[in-house]
Structure 1
Amino acid sequence: MMGSTLLRILVSLVLSLAIAARAYKHKSLNRSGAMMGFVVMAIHIAAGYRFGVLILVFFFTSSKLTKFGQEKKRTIDEDFKEGGQRNWIQVLANSAIATVLVVILVTITGGEDRCLDTKNSALITGLTGGVIGHYACCNGDTWSSEIGMLSKGQPRLITTFKPVKKGTNGAVTIEGLLAAAAAGFVIGLAYTLVGLLTTGCAGDVAWKQLLVVPIATAMGLCGSLIDSLLGATVQFSGYCSLRKKVVSKRAPSVTKISGMNILDNNGVNAASILLTTLLTSVACLYIF
């Protein structure tokens, strides 16, 4: 047991360092983002391979989608940066809650992967469900945003269904919503496949682990909808006549589209992640 734990810690350090360095080289993360990314990834992988695969699937798929169609996104996104270049605040906004949960879990389990089973441990089931929901939300929101910006469909504000310009906070498209569900599906599938190799679930408990896939799919969509609802109501969107873009800050040249200036994009992301994490945790307690 001690040997496998030490091996996992070593793997976590080497793999996280390699991924963070590569991400910095390819401009997926800036310097501060790469440093924070290394810490967060190392914690997840050291806590359990299932948790490690969740953050890695989220990171790699979101990074690829961020770079897809960059020329078009450059004309839409006010904060566009070549390659994405997420900083430490963005990394933390998309990983802080899950990092806290996996640290609690590894403290309880000693790094042993456990099945989702409330009869054995409701606490472990609830906390693990929260981690799954966290990354289903993160992946769903990212896929939805990145694919939605490239959609040929007309974005509509989620609160009024009024047609709005691309880049408006709280706007949704059919393609974006389907992408969110697909993103959640990928998270659930990755967790389940790795779990088959790392857990000793048996009987009905083993079969029930497959329910993670539809749960994560639903939470990918749900998390994206929550993010859009918050974006449309507590995050300001306006059209700048000078930059010819939708922006998130008031100015003399900006005409309001929607939302109050209460939270910025990182705040909206963190709030939607927290709500989806709690929702998934409760769902897992009832289902498993």
Structure 2
Amino acid sequence: MAFSFPSTRLNVPLLSPPSFIPTPKTLALLNPKPRVSKMPLPPPKSLSLQHLSGLQSTVLDLVATSPPTWKSAIASNLLIFLVGSPVVVSGLSASGIGAALALGILTWRAFGGSGFLLVATYFVIGTAVTKLKITQKEAQGVAEKRRGRRGPGSVIGSSAAGCVCSLLSINGIGGPAFAGLWQLGFVASFCTKLSDTVSSEIGKAYGKTTYLVTTFKVVPRGTEGAVSLEGTVAGLLASILLASVGYLMREIDVSQAVVCVIASQIANFGESLIGAALQDKEGFQWLNNDLVNVINISIGSILAVLMQQLILGS
């Protein structure tokens, strides 16, 4: 007996190869890059005493350059402003420092370190007297703004005539015969401004009786055009002091020092007249303190030059 079996077909699915997507990390493992040995970086070289000594020598050579150059003027002023920053910051605002730096560079280029020292003496004394009894002055409403820290307007108002004299000297206007006159005008302008500053600040701090220069009527301290005995005497002494510094620095001689003092007092009297008659009056609102200062120091500088030419005949 024959048996027949039904044919059975097994449908077994064929296994497809697994999908494999290599990652960058896998590729890096499969294809390792050759290692490159890194050379250690040399440590930074520290400044040796020899380098510091050479740098100091270079700076000192620039400061001592004679006649001064723009390069030596810039280097000297940056060094001095950096070393004297506590004094500079106490007397000048941020923008005032920039204006003072420009003035210092111009002064050094024109008249060297002696001219710069004259301006520095003016700045130190002027700042000191401005801060005298500053609280009392503020209470009376007669103190300088920012507790006496001068801005660029004040710096320009105090130095405009000196800057003009510096530019005339640098460019050799008039030749060697006029070089001494520009130097005299420079010194006279700062004698005039220091005398004015000291007179005003001492008068506001210690003046017992203040008179209006046009009428001699008693007026409150700080009134435009007002003068006091204490302030007038202090201003005269300040002018003598700065003229003496100019003489010691060989910027001027004895007769020129006398000229600077006389010119400064005449100019300051004229400035008081302008303040009393015109400042804060109708139609003269544009005549502010900075502009009056420019007029004041210009009068002092021009008077000194004219007196040297016409009276001393040289």
TM-score band, normalised by shorter chain:
0.7 to 0.9
Judge which range, 70-79 or 4-13, deviates more: 4-13
Distance 1:216 1:77, change over 3 A: farther
Counterpart residue number, 1:81: 145
Partner Cα distance (1:278, 1:80) in 2 = 28
Q: Does 1:64 align with 2:131?
A: no
- Taking the TM superposition and a 5 Å limit, the aligned residue runs for 1:120-135 are 121-135=176-190
Counterpart residue number, 1:148: 203
- Whether contact under 8 Å (2:266, 2:300) holds in the other structure is yes
Partner Cα distance (1:137, 1:82) in 2 = 24
Question: Which of the numbers 114, 118, 122 marks the counterpart of 1:50?
Answer: 114
User: Over aligned residues, Cα RMSD in angstroms?
Assistant: 2.7
Structure 1: runs of 5 or more not aligned: 110-117, 197-207, 238-249, 251-258
Partner Cα distance (1:275, 1:139) in 2 = 14
Tell me by how many angstroms 1:97 deviates. Answer: 2.1
Judge which range, 59-68 or 97-106, deviates more: 97-106
Tell me by how many angstroms 1:37 deviates. Answer: 0.7
- Whether contact under 8 Å (2:132, 2:205) holds in the other structure is no
Q: Does 1:33 align with 2:96?
A: yes
- Per the normalisation by structure 1, the TM-score is 0.77
* Stretches (4+) displaced over 6 A: none
Partner Cα distance (1:212, 1:236) in 2 = 35
SS at match of 1:163: coil
Question: Which of the numbers 48, 64, 79 marks the counterpart of 1:14?
Answer: 79
Counterpart residue number, 2:302: 278
Partner Cα distance (2:80, 2:149) in 1 = 20
Q: Which of the two has higher C-alpha Rg?
A: 2
Distance 1:154 1:125, change over 3 A: same
Partner Cα distance (2:110, 2:166) in 1 = 6
Q: Deviations over 1:172-228 (max 9, x none)?
A: 0111111121111112111110118xxxxxxxxxxx911133222223322321211
Q: Deviations over 1:71-102 (max 9, x none)?
A: 21112344543541111111111112211211
SS at match of 1:95: helix
- Whether contact under 8 Å (1:29, 1:85) holds in the other structure is yes
Tell me by how many angstroms 1:40 deviates. Answer: 0.6
Tell me by how many angstroms 1:262 deviates. Answer: 4.8
- Taking the TM superposition and a 5 Å limit, the aligned residue runs for 1:228-239 are 228-236=272-280
Aligned length in residues? 246
- Higher RCO (CA < 8 A, seq sep 6+): 1
- Per the normalisation by structure 2, the TM-score is 0.71
Partner Cα distance (2:207, 2:194) in 1 = 21
